[in-house]
C-alpha cells in the first residue's frame, strides 16, 4: 500500500498484521478520491474503522489539515501510530482505540465536525442506515461534507436519506461496493 497523491505521494503505508483488517486497494482508493475531491483545501477528516489509517492518511496528503483515526483493534492502533510517525504527521492527528458508536458520541460531546468521514468497517458487520443516522443526528458532518462508505457489494445502503444526497454508488472488482454521500 502507498499514498496515491499529494504531499506524501509514493510513501509506503504498513498494513495491519493478520487477517483482522482488509486494506483498500490502491486503484480503488485512487478512483474514489477522484470522486470525493482530488485535493482538499483544508478541513478535518474522521477515519472510523481506520485499520492501517491509509484512507485518512491519503486525505491528509491531499490537503486535509486534521485527522481523527478510530479503530477498536489494538494491532490497528499500533499500525496507525507507526504509519503516522514514519510520515511525520502525528501533530495533525488524534488516534483512539474505541468502538465506532462510542467514538462518534465522544466526538459529538467535544463539538467536533468533519468535512470528510471515512467508513470502512468489517463487511456485513455494521448497520449503515443506523450509523449514517447517528452521524447526522450528532451533527458530525458539516454541510456539503462527504461520507465515504466501503462495503460488500451484497450490502444495500440507503439510496435516499433525509439529510444526505447520494453522490456515487459503484462496485469495484465484483466484491467491493463504494457509496458516497454529501450532506445537504
End-to-end CA distance of the chain: give it in Å, rounded: 33
**Could you tell me the residue range of the domain that residue 92 belongs to?**
26-141
Report d(CA 134, CA 131) in Å as an integer: 5
Helix (H) or strand (E) holding 182: strand 176-183
In a domain, 88, yes or no: yes
- CB–CB of 13/54 below 8 Å? yes
User: What local confidence, expressed as pLDDT, does residue 20 receive?
Assistant: 64
In a domain, 174, yes or no: no
In a domain, 65, yes or no: yes
Mean pLDDT of the chain: 92
In a domain, 124, yes or no: yes
Q: What pLDDT digit, counting tens, does each position of 149-164 carry?
A: 999 999 989 888 999 9
CATH number at residue 46: 3.40.50.150
Q: What pLDDT digit, counting tens, does each position of 48-68 carry?
A: 999 999 999 999 999 999 999
Domain count for the chain:
1
Q: What is the average per-residue pLDDT within 82-103?
A: 97
Using the predicted structure, report yes or no on whether residue 21 has a pLDDT greater than 70.
no
Q: What is the average per-residue pLDDT within 11-33?
A: 81
- The torsion of the CA quartet 41, 61, 71, 26, rounded to 10 degrees, works out to 120
Q: What is the average per-residue pLDDT within 74-84?
A: 97
Cα–Cα nearest to 115, from 52, 179, 160, 67: 67
Report d(CA 53, CA 71) in Å as an integer: 9
pTM for the whole structure = 0.94
Q: How many residues does the chain have?
A: 184
Q: Copy the grid coordinates of residue 150.
A: 466501503
Report d(CA 128, CA 111) in Å as an integer: 23
Amino acid at each position: 500500500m502507498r499514498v496515491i497523491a499529494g504531499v506524501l505521494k509514493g510513501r509506503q503505508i504498513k498494513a495491519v498484521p493478520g487477517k483482522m483488517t482488509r486494506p483498500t486497494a490502491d486503484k480503488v482508493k485512487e478512483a474514489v478520491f477522484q470522486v470525493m475531491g482530488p485535493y482538499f483545501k483544508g478541513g478535518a477528516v474522521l477515519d472510523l474503522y481506520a485499520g492501517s489509517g491509509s484512507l485518512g492518511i491519503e486525505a491528509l496528503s491531499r490537503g486535509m489539515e486534521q485527522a481523527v483515526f478510530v479503530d477498536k483493534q489494538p494491532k490497528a492502533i499500533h499500525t496507525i501510530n507507526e504509519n503516522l510517525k514514519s510520515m511525520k504527521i502525528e501533530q495533525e492527528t488524534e488516534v483512539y482505540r474505541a468502538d465506532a458508536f462510542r467514538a462518534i458520541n465522544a466526538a459529538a460531546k467535544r463539538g467536533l465536525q468533519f468535512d470528510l468521514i471515512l467508513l470502512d468497517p468489517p463487511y456485513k458487520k455494521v448497520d449503515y442506515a443506523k450509523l449514517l443516522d447517528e452521524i447526522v443526528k450528532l451533527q458530525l458532518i458539516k454541510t456539503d461534507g462527504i461520507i465515504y462508505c466501503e462495503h460488500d457489494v451484497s450490502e444495500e445502503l440507503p439510496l435516499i436519506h433525509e439529510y444526505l444526497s447520494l453522490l456515487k454508488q459503484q462496485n469495484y472488482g465484483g466484491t467491493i461496493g463504494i457509496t458516497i454521500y454529501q450532506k445537504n
